[in-house]
Amino acid sequence: MARILLAEDDDSLRTFLAGALIKAGHEVADFPDGDLALEALNNLQFDLLLTDIVMPGVDGVELARKAAELRPDMKIVFITGFAAVALNPANQAPAKAKVLSKPFHLRELVAEVEKVMAA
């Protein structure tokens, strides 16, 4: 089981993803934007950051950079329809971050989380 920080600004998608991860046995704290997720990151321990890239306030790439600084051992997965943005070296996204491109099936999400946590 992993403690997951989920940042996704689409309310219905965030609820759907959190539910699937909880059903798979993970503990999930979910937030509608990067600002609230960053606040949680500063105050709580997580094993994995699962974040959208395009969000109001602090975006997912900045959130991932902060996560990598604060907790270098934290795993990071971007969930995005903009994979090229995450992979662009100019964005300085953490090199160890993985990308799961939208749209994806919930089974793919759960499998990716399990794979990342096992690595």
Note whether residue 1 is domain-resident.
Answer: no
Whole-number pLDDT of residue 97: 85
Q: How far apart are CA 9 and CA 89, in angstroms?
A: 24
Percent of the chain exceeding pLDDT 90 equals 72
Q: Identify the residue with better confidence: 93 or 119.
A: 119
* 41 occurs within a structural domain: yes
pLDDT digits (tens, 9 = 90+) for 17-51: 999 999 999 999 999 999 999 999 999 999 999 99
Instruction: Please check whether residue 61 lies inside any domain of the structure.
Output: yes
Residues 61-78: tens digit of each pLDDT: 999 999 999 999 999 999
Question: In the β-sheet with 27-31, what is the strand arrangement from edge to edge?
Answer: 27-31, 3-7, 48-51, 75-80, 98-101
Q: Residue 22 has which token pair?
A: 């909880």
Task: Retrieve residue 95's tokens.
Answer: 């090199």
Distance from C-alpha of 7 to C-alpha of 14, rounded to nearest angstrom: 8
- Whether the pLDDT of residue 93 is over 90: the answer is no
Q: How confident is the model at residue 83 (pLDDT cuts 50, 70, 90)?
A: low
Note whether residue 33 is domain-resident. yes
Chain centroid to Cα 83, Å, comes to 13
Q: How many domains does the chain have?
A: 1
* 25 falls within a domain: yes
CATH code at position 49 = 3.40.50.2300
Domain range for 78: 6-118
Distance CA 97, CA 45 (A): 18
